[in-house]
Structure 1
Amino acid sequence: MLYLPVLVMGVLALGTYWLVRSTPVSGPQVPERVRGHEPDYFMHGFKVKTFDATGRLRSEVAGDVAKHYPDTKWMEIDAIRIRSFDASGRLTTATANKGLANEDGSEVQLMGNAVVVREAVTAAGSAPAQPRAEYRGEFLHAFMDTEQVKSHKPVELRRGQDVFTADSLDFDNVQQTMLLQGRVRGTLIPSKR
């Protein structure tokens, strides 16, 4: 009885040795292939809609072809079309030959024939409280969360009948400020009374 624990420990050690020897050897660990800037999925003729907590349409992004790149987590969209509604229901549309959108949709870069239009807002009377605004350029960078639009390339702005052109743009909708730089030209048309 005195040697029984030693005998049990010996049998367990032999069993463990046999188990290790009979287990198949796994192949060498192959490191995961480093992927370059290659898309991991495509979408053709797509439309993606997002809704707020009450079920109202918040935004709609459509395009001919979309490619998602896992290394940057950005989506490249050909013939991009965007419809976006703010909290008060005002519609803003954007189109371009190509667009880049980040994973959560908070940043969108519009490239090639970019046009952003915010429709007019009418007041209680018949006169518009805010006239229709249109931004045109070869490149527009929109920050959706902060409601900013920036461009380092020439832009044309139309607000009602007024027209402005500049070499660069920095627009903040929350602060209601616009910084135009470079060769800035403007045409202001007086309103009719």
Structure 2
Amino acid sequence: MRRASPASLIAAALLAAIAAGTYWMVQRTLPSGGDSTPYVKRHIPDYYADSLVISMLSPTGQTQYRVNAVHLVHFEDDATTAMTLPAVRAFTPDQPEVTATGKRGTLNADMSIVDLYDDAVVTRQPGPRDPEMHALSEHFQVLVNEDIVRTEKPVQLFRGQSVMNASGMIFNNTTRAVQLLGNVRGTIQPAELGARPPAPAGAKP
């Protein structure tokens, strides 16, 4: 029988020591049989996604809102989602599209509230009777179930050639009504109030 060399004996001893150490570490990290403490979720990411698109359907099965973001992080404790460069698009039959964007945003657990922060913008495309509308603020909140976009922050509203400033705003996507809140000031063009614009010089009455 061939006798083992000293080198092979040393290697075998090292492997045995490593195996014993690994077993000891596993036993130390495993919970004891009598430990029934439930796992407590923490506010840590449990998954990530890039270039994700989320569609929210109406009761009739049509796309009502579409949310997309460059980067998305989901947290395990409250099921909220943090988004980078989010965009929210609202689709209403026979109405111009409305888009809300921000540099960052959050989505709650049941996807009923989207918050947009930092250089947030709401844009309504022009329609047959309405000019294009832009609203600028540091925060907009989209209430999906109510079909409302609102802000409690100072807002600047551009509607055609009119410019308005206020301390807050509520935009109803169903009725397309805009309500400016607190310290409202600005300039509204006569044509956008329903008044007849002045006739060009030299035109016949």
**TM-score, normalising length: structure 1:** 0.71
From 69, 72, 77, give the equivalent of 1:66: 72
- SS of 1:41's equivalent in the other structure is strand
Q: How does 1:95-106 map to 2 (within 5 A)?
A: 95-106=101-112
Q: Which segments of 5 or more consecutive residues in structure 2 lack a partner in the other structure? A: 1-31, 192-196, 200-205
Matched, 1:31 2:37: yes
User: Is the deviation greater in 158-167 or in 81-90?
Assistant: 81-90
How far the C-alpha of 1:164 sits from its partner, in A, is 0.7
CA separation in 2, counterparts of 1:179 and 1:59? 24
Partner of 2:161: 161
- SS of 1:37's equivalent in the other structure is coil
Q: 1:60 to 1:137 in 2, by over 3 A?
A: same
From 94, 104, 109, give the equivalent of 2:100: 94
How far the C-alpha of 1:72 sits from its partner, in A, is 2.3
Q: How does 1:108-127 map to 2 (within 5 A)?
A: 108-122=114-128
CA separation in 2, counterparts of 1:54 and 1:174? 16
Q: 1:167 to 1:54 in 2, by over 3 A?
A: closer
CA separation in 2, counterparts of 1:85 and 1:49? 11
CA separation in 2, counterparts of 1:143 and 1:101? 11
Structure 2 contact 55–63 (Cα < 8 Å) conserved: yes
How far the C-alpha of 1:179 sits from its partner, in A, is 3.6
What letter corresponds to residue 70 of structure 2 in structure 1? D
**TM-score, normalising length: structure 2:** 0.68
Q: 1:59 to 1:170 in 2, by over 3 A?
A: closer
How far the C-alpha of 1:89 sits from its partner, in A, is 4.9
Partner of 2:182: 181
What letter corresponds to residue 112 of structure 2 in structure 1? S
**Residues 131-185 of structure 1, C-alpha deviation per residue, up to 9 Å, x if partnerless?**
2221110111121221222222111111222111112223445563514213x22
Partner of 2:148: 148
How far the C-alpha of 1:40 sits from its partner, in A, is 1.6
**Residues 10-66 of structure 1, C-alpha deviation per residue, up to 9 Å, x if partnerless?**
xxxxxxxxxxxxxxxx92243223222112211122222345577654332211211
CA separation in 2, counterparts of 1:50 and 1:172? 18
**Residues 78-108 of structure 1, C-alpha deviation per residue, up to 9 Å, x if partnerless?**
1101222024353111110011112333211
CA RMSD of aligned residues (A): 2.5
Q: 1:29 to 1:114 in 2, by over 3 A?
A: same
Q: 1:34 to 1:141 in 2, by over 3 A?
A: same
Query: Quick check: which one's strand share is greater?
Result: 1
Matched, 1:130 2:136: no
Structure 2 contact 119–137 (Cα < 8 Å) conserved: yes
CA separation in 2, counterparts of 1:50 and 1:96? 19
From 44, 60, 78, give the equivalent of 2:50: 44
